[in-house]
Amino acid sequence: MRQHTVTDSPVGPLTLVATDGVLSALYMEQHRHQPDPSTFGLRDPAPFAPVREQLAAYFAGELTEFDLPLAPEGTPFQQRVWAALRRIPYGTTLTYGELAREIGQPTASRAVGLANGRNPHSIVVPCHRVIGTDGSLTGYGGGLERKRYLLALETGRRAGAVVEDALF
């Protein structure tokens, strides 16, 4: 059974989707690659208390790693990329090429980028920590301003600061 709720956050409303009580997606407002909302199931906040608590702690700067069961739906390659994303430490970044090497496919940086863009667990699975080879902030399903905000939060800078300069 699928259920969903919407919760407020500093980066705007977040839609949380659960499949059989396990978080299967977290989408930002105007999220690229978001499926039709009619697939999210009934609106019910009950299964999302742990997710909301951890998100609140993350945005307060008190949580650096999420500890939630996840039920992502994707290809085996996407699953490998998403698992590697979870190993990127808080406050650090990797390039798409580095992430491709991390999963043992050093020539697959474009495919890694595509899988990264399809990550159904934004924020929780930190796809915002992946950047371009030249250190630039490249695409993000929730928009570059949100990516900039999340990276600034993790590096202790104010949200409006230019993050690219702080990371390198």
Through-space distance between the first and last CA atoms of the chain, rounded to whole angstroms: 45
83 shares a domain with 50: no
80 shares a domain with 136: yes
Total tally of structural domains belonging to the chain: 2
Interatomic CA distance for residues 25 and 102, integer angstroms:
24
Is the residue at 69 inside a domain? Answer: no
Catalytic: 127? yes
Span 53-74, pLDDT tens digits:
999 999 999 999 999 999 988 9
Dihedral sign (CA 35, 37, 38, 40): positive
Q: Which domain holds residue 141?
A: 76-167
Span 129-147, pLDDT tens digits:
999 888 888 877 777 889 9
Q: Can you tell me the mean pLDDT for 93-104?
A: 95
Domain containing residue 7: CATH number:
3.30.160.70
For residues 118 and 157, the model is more confident at 118
pLDDT band for 31, please (50, 70, 90 cuts): confident
Is the residue at 140 inside a domain? Answer: yes
The answer to whether the CB of 137 falls within 8 A of the CB of 128 is no
Q: Which residues contact 2 (CB under 8 A, 6 or more apart)?
A: 17, 18, 19, 24, 39, 40, 41, 42
Which residue out of 51, 125, 127, 130 is catalytically annotated?
A: 127
